[in-house]
Structure 1
Amino acid sequence: MTTTLITFALSTGRLRPWREGDEDSLSRHASNRHIWNNVRDFFPYPYTPRDAHSWVRSNKSYHQPTNFAIEIEGQAVGNVGFTVKDDIYRFNAEIGYWLSEDYWGRGIMSEAVPIVTRYIFDQFQVNRVFACVLSGNMGSMHVLRSAGYRHEAILRQAATKNNQYFDEHIFAILREECTGNE
């Protein structure tokens, strides 16, 4: 299976592997403080062309991608990705995503997250997919609920962002719960 064959249609675009040529669009759409406020600190801000080049280079070589560009009108405007965990968590994957603020509120993530969740269960030996959401990110919580994820826990003041403590909300879906969730 090559990365060029793994593409998923969205009503407004598609999910596909990252490729050379995405760097300008990526740095333009990802360099946004409102996005950065809701993601982990390893996501750079500002998001420079150099950051974009590194991201594309690190992702384009996978035969079985774990990060998918959200392409709308020929531009890479977001990402849905996951990490399969290890050790006693080896049958878990953590999903994460971001979308250009220009496209918020259009249902794009509500369409993309179930597709990638199904892909994870179909292609990897995973029994549980989970996501961590900072308190206040109601849009992301809505995306996960609409994709069939259950709210499992609130880790009180578990995360630090912008020198403030935030509760972290854990959402998860099990393989057995994902049937028919296309």
Structure 2
Amino acid sequence: MVIPTLSEGPVTLRPVRLRDAKPLEHSLLDNRSWLRKWEATSPYAPTSFDTRASIRSLQANARAGHGLPFIIECDGELGGQLNVSSITYGSLSSATIGYWVAERFAGRGVTPTAVALATDYCFYQLGLHRMEICIRPENQASLRVVEKLGFRYEGLRRRYIHINGDWRDHFCFALVTEELGQGVLRRWLDGNVAPDAATVTSEDRAAAAFPLPVARDR
């Protein structure tokens, strides 16, 4: 799969390259305290910083047509990563978006711009029908991203992804093409996003405040 370069203002999405390994490693280490609580981990092995292996895996997934691994740049500086994963065509025609940005780029509109660029590309160039983002209930910065872009809240997923050493609950948000009269980026920049699309129900907020009990054999 060809990975495009997409830009809006100071924000650029470009394909990840092997030569990004060292800069990515430095950024991840520099932002350890900022990112650690949101970092995907494996329940079977300790977290490692083998960024070259990670990039190779992402590139192989892209060659198989299942992903789009991007570097996020702001004013030409490496600011983070965005990955479109689980790309599926046919009767499902969907994908999932995950991302991280360095702390010094937070609050500058970098993440919503990157997510909007990637979503529009998947809808209007790849022909996908549905895009999904899953976010931990505690991650207020990411929740603001889906609020800004008008991703619709779909529900609470219990112990959904292994994050920072344990299985964590996530709120699920999505968009389908029928909801858009214009692209995600244009809709946001023009101020046409519905103000309550990403509103999480009070029931789900209350449920997420308490961990799901884990059954123990007696």
TM-score by length of 1: 0.80
CA contact (8 A) 1:134 1:169 kept: yes
> Who wins on radius of gyration, i.e. which is larger?
2
The one-letter code of the counterpart of 2:114 is A
Deviations 1:82-141 (A, max 9, x none): 123559983221111111122111110011111100111123342111111111101101
Equivalent residue letter for 2:52:
H
Aligned equivalent of 2:132? 130
- Is 1:22–1:75's contact at 8 Å kept on the other side of the alignment? no
The aligned amino acid for 2:19 is G
Cα deviations across residues 120-165 of structure 1 (Å, max 9, x unaligned)? 1123342111111111101101101211201111234545544666
How far apart, CA to CA, are the structure 2 residues paired with 1:57 and 1:70? 18
Match 1:20 to one of 13, 18, 21:
18
8 Å CA contact retained: 1:82, 1:93: yes
Aligned counterparts of 1:8 and 1:100: Cα–Cα separation in 2? 19
User: Matches of 1:133 and 1:159 in 2, distance apart?
Assistant: 10
Q: RMSD of the alignment, in Å?
A: 3.0
Aligned residue in 2 for 1:29: 27
Structure-2 change in CA distance of 1:174 and 1:39 (3 Å): farther
Gaps of 5+ in 1: none
Provide, for residues 18-62 of structure 1, a one-character-per-residue CA deviation record: whole Å limited to 9, x for no partner.
1232112101112324313113215x98663xx221233344564
Structure 1 pair 164/45, CA: closer, same or farther in 2 (3 Å)? closer
Aligned 8 A contact 1:25 1:75 in 2? no
Match of 2:207 in 1: none
Tell me whether 1:52 sits opposite 2:51 in the alignment.
yes
- For residues 91 and 46 of structure 1, the distance between their equivalents in structure 2, rounded to whole angstroms, comes to 31
Contact 1:36 1:45 (8 Å CA) reproduced: no
The corresponding residue for 2:41 is 41
The alignment partner of 1:37 has SS state of helix
Instruction: Name whichever of 6-15 and 135-144 sits farther off.
Output: 6-15
| SS across alignment from 1:136 | coil
Secondary structure of the residue aligned to 2:18 is: coil
> Please, which runs of 5 or more residues in structure 2 have no aligned partner?
186-218
Relative to 1, partners in 2 of residues 1:137 and 1:45: Cα closer, same or farther, differing over 3 Å? farther
- How many residue pairs get aligned? The number is 177
Identity across the alignment (%): 26
Matched to 1:35, the amino acid is L
Q: Which residue of 2 aligns with 1:113?
A: 115
